[in-house]
Chain A
Amino acid sequence: MEFTSMLFYVFAFCFIGSAVLMVTSRNTIKAAMFLILSFFSVASLWLLLEAEFLAITLILVYVGAVMVLFLFVIKMLDIDKSTVRAKFTKYLPLGIVVSVVVISQMALVLNVGQFDLDNSMGPVRQAADFSNISQLANDLYTLYVYPFELAAVLLLTAIIAAITLVHRNESRSKRQNIAEQVNVQAGDRVRLVSASSNKSKESK
């Protein structure tokens, strides 16, 4: 067996195994850890597909930011495990039925003979000094520059929405009250205190 094929099977096994363990895990923390493992395996698969930038982005953004956010929320909320555990097996048959239906539909579509996918396409091996990032950036900043800017706006919207949603009440915020500022008197700002600097010397 070729070395890259062996790598593919190892990473695919890790991906599927950690996905199954994540889905069936009853502890949410363990599920998050297995999701991190499956992200690492899928990033390795993307490296095999010569998408280096996206593989590194997946690890940096997903494992570094999104999963940490997940873990933060899981630890912050006190989740009652007993209610989750009781309803676990209730929907298991439905889930199995739906996934079997979907996987059989996909198997029909992905059947190699019907669409001749493997013969029509072949990977073009790039040279060793080929830069995936520069190729991606060339297209991203020319052809896809408007979607790129839209993505930036979308992230800004997400930031504003998240902050607005979880912001608790007005009293903690630093927003200015215009009426209070206009109506301020000198007495509110300056306070005269009788200083007692030499007292300690005189008492001696």
Chain B
Amino acid sequence: MIVLSDYLILSAIVFCIGLAGIFINRTNIIMLLMCVELILAAVNTNFIAFSYFGSDIAGQIFVFFILTVAAAEVAIGLAILTLVYRNRGSIDVDVTNSLKG
């Protein structure tokens, strides 16, 4: 029988994989965005598991809004990424250092 903590542990593991991915692929902005998506999927699983085991629909509605915000974030993030590439010729994070004092 699958209980609530199984889902919580699963999403904690995937959250940490996504977090480690941000550190590992620190130089590639596209990989950073994809790791953020992975983290969001893990967190959304938490919400839906609580919604199911607590018999409350509010968790699913929250996931709905998180999906909306994440879609907006990806659209703007990829637009900024395109601009960075156009201006710098690279999407390496280390190249975008013109704000460094």
Contacts and interface: CB of A to CB of B under 8 A. Distances in A.
Interface size class on chain B is 35 or more
B45 A42 contact: yes
A147 B65 contact: yes
B12 A66 contact: no
Secondary structure type dominating chain B contacts: helix
Secondary structure type dominating chain A contacts: helix
Interface residues of A, number: 82
Interface of A: 2, 4-5, 8, 12, 15-16, 19-20, 22-24, 28, 31-32, 35, 38-39, 42, 45-46, 48-51, 53-54, 57-58, 61-62, 65-66, 69-70, 73-74, 76-77, 79-80, 83-84, 87-88, 91-92, 94-96, 98-100, 102-103, 106-107, 110, 112, 117-118, 121-124, 132, 135-136, 139-140, 144, 147, 151, 154-155, 157-159, 161-162, 165-166
Interface of B: 1-10, 12-28, 30-31, 33-35, 37-38, 41-42, 44-45, 48-49, 51-55, 57-58, 60-61, 63-65, 67-76, 78-83, 85, 90-92
